[in-house]
């Protein structure tokens, strides 16, 4: 074997060892610590939706029966009201507030908080607007609900509007308290939506009464 051949084989061997070392170095990442991953937007959003305080719970627990009574009153309008405008308003109130009841029940369940019972014949028998010591301004009494059930025609229209204005004003008051004292973004957004919708309806009802 010539000296030239020996030198060529030695050089080839050195090149092979060098490439192998480089490849081995690239594959050593299996022992490295995994790269940190940023929290997903979904998990961050879910965490934020769970953040709440007692004011949020109190607001939802009070607003559920409050809305339930408004839906009950609105259903009466379909049979007893004489004004098409009153019937339309009542239908819109029912259509808006029933989904909000479902939303609020879902939020309480997600927080592992108890939901208020609303399966009685009327939500009016709650000590003139209190439940478990929680104030629910604007709630109708049993006597007021009985009065509403006993009239029809123009008399129903007038009494319904008067009562619903009072009822809406109570909901606005409760929602403003949530904006001041609450923590949960979803609950506060709901409170703001209630204020906007019901203040608009109050103006509409005052016009109908006028």
Tokens at 92, concatenated = 């819109």
Whether the CB-CB separation of 183 and 177 falls below 8 Å is answered with no
Give the pLDDT score at 94: 97
Q: pLDDT by residue (tens digit) across 156-207?
A: 999 999 999 999 999 999 999 999 999 999 999 999 999 999 999 999 999 9
Residue 43, in any domain of the structure:
no
Whether the CB-CB separation of 195 and 172 falls below 8 Å is answered with yes
Residue 92, in any domain of the structure:
yes
Q: Is the pLDDT of residue 2 over 50?
A: no
Q: Which of 7-16, 102-111, 142-151, 163-172 has the lowest mean pLDDT?
A: 7-16
Q: Alpha-carbon distance 62 to 39, whole Å?
A: 35
Cα dihedral sign, 60-65-69-74 = positive
Residue 149, in any domain of the structure:
yes
Residue 179, in any domain of the structure:
yes
Enter the pTM of the model: 0.73
Domain of residue 175: give its range.
Answer: 51-113+143-209
Q: Please, where are the H alpha helices in 54-184?
A: 54-80, 84-110, 142-149, 154-181
Strand 130-131, strand 134-135: pairing = antiparallel
Residue 100, in any domain of the structure:
yes
Q: What are phi and psi of 138, to 5 degrees?
A: 90, -5
Whether the CB-CB separation of 170 and 137 falls below 8 Å is answered with yes
**Residue reference for tokens 């703001």:** 192
How many domains is the chain partitioned into structurally? 1
Query: The CATH number of the domain where 75 resides is what?
Result: 1.20.1260.10
Residue 121, in any domain of the structure:
no
Residue 165, in any domain of the structure:
yes
Residue 120, in any domain of the structure:
no
Tokens at 176, concatenated = 């403003």
Average pLDDT over residues 92-114: 97
Q: pLDDT by residue (tens digit) across 42-96?
A: 444 455 468 999 999 999 999 999 999 999 999 999 999 999 999 999 999 999 9
């Amino acid at each position: 074997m010539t000296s030239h051949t020996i030198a060529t084989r030695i050089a080839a061997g050195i090149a092979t060892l060098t490439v192998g070392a480089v490849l081995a170095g690239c594959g050593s990442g299996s022992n490295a610590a995994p790269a940190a991953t940023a929290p997903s937007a979904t998990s961050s959003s879910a965490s934020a939706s769970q953040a709440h305080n007692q004011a949020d719970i109190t607001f939802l627990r009070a607003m559920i029966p409050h809305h339930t009574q408004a839906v009950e009153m609105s259903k009466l309008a379909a049979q007893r009201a004489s004004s098409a405008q009153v019937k339309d308003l009542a239908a819109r109130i029912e259509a808006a507030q029933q989904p909000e009841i479902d939303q609020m029940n879902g939020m309480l369940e997600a927080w592992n908080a108890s939901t208020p019972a609303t399966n009685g014949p009327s939500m009016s028998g709650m000590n003139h607007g209190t439940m478990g010591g929680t104030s629910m301004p604007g709630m109708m009494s049993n006597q007021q609900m009985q009065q509403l059930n006993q009239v029809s025609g123009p008399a129903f229209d007038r009494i319904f509007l008067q009562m619903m204005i009072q009822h809406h004003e109570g909901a606005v008051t409760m929602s403003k308290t949530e904006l001041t004292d609450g923590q949960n973004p979803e609950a506060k957004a709901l409170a703001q939506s209630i204020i906007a919708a019901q203040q608009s309806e109050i103006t509409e009802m005052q016009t109908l009464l006028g």
